[in-house]
Amino acid sequence: MNTKNHYNNGQIMHEQQGDTLTYYFKDGTIKAQGAALHGVMQGEWKFYRATGQLWQMGNFYHGKKHGHWIRFNKLDEIEYEATFENGKIQKKATPS
């Protein structure tokens, strides 16, 4: 995790409220959000483009990708789906 907490414009980079950790772009829009225990990603996370559009989502287990992940292109179509185990890709599928 980045130790610097603010961008040069004063916008906060990340904050944790309860079990939810949120990362922000420089303009204040949400970059990524999900559960974190003691600063370590755990459970479901969602990642966004600077436009606010959903880019990808999936699960972490002890800070590593684990389980089903899905990534969307800029047209909100599935770009690919993958399954991870302990941070390593096990299976990747692209739509036909």
Per-residue model confidence as pLDDT tens digits over 64-93: 999 999 999 999 999 999 999 999 999 888
> Structure tokens of 28?
């204040």
pLDDT at 59: 97
Separation in Å, CA 55 to CA 6, 17, 19, 80: 23, 23, 22, 11
Q: What is the pLDDT of residues 6-38, one digit of tens each?
A: 999 999 999 999 999 999 999 999 999 999 998
CA geometry: angle 51, 92, 64, nearest 5 deg: 70
Distance CA 85, CA 69 (A): 11
Cα–Cα distance for residue pair 94/77, rounded to 1 Å = 11
Question: How much is the pLDDT for 96?
Answer: 66
Query: What pLDDT, in 10s, does the model give residues 41-66?
Result: 999 999 999 999 999 999 999 999 99
Q: How many CB atoms lie within 10 A of CB 47?
A: 18
Domain extents for the chain? 14-93
Residue 2 has pLDDT above 70, yes or no: no
3-state secondary structure 45-96: EEEECCCCCEEEEEEEECCEEEEEEEEECCCCCEEEEEEEECCEEEEEECCC
